[in-house]
């Protein structure tokens, strides 16, 4: 014989799609297009800064320089 299964397989019905619930007051609102949130990402021996607006900085070997790129992006005047 093969392996014996002692439990039943339960077929769960798919959960109905629901509209996004409003955020409770304790949650921060989702970022708007005007907000810029930066992070650094490592790719092998390189690090680069990225922003929620779609901007990404050049790949750097220095994590500190990638963070500086992110800071410069946040403080740069916005293009209309």
State the Rg of the chain over Cα: 23
CB 51 within 8 A of CB 38: yes
pLDDT at 33: 46
pLDDT at 5: 58
User: Is residue 50, in this structure, part of any structural domain at all?
Assistant: yes
pLDDT at 11: 63
What is the rounded distance in angstroms from the CA atom of residue 46 to the CA atom of residue 48? 7
CB 70 within 8 A of CB 56: no
Residue 35's pLDDT band (cuts 50, 70, 90):
confident
Domain that holds residue 49: 38-75
User: Is residue 20, in this structure, part of any structural domain at all?
Assistant: no
- What is the number of domains present in the chain? 1
The residue with tokens 């990225």 is: 50
């Amino acid at each position: 014989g093969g392996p014996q299964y002692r439990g039943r397989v339960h077929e769960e019905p798919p959960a109905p799609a629901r509209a996004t619930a409003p955020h409770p007051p304790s949650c921060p609102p989702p970022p708007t297009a005007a907000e810029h949130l930066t992070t650094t990402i490592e790719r092998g021996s390189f690090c680069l800064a990225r922003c929620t607006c779609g901007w990404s900085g050049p790949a750097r070997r220095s994590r500190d320089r990638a963070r500086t790129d992110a800071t410069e992006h946040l403080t740069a005047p916005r293009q209309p």
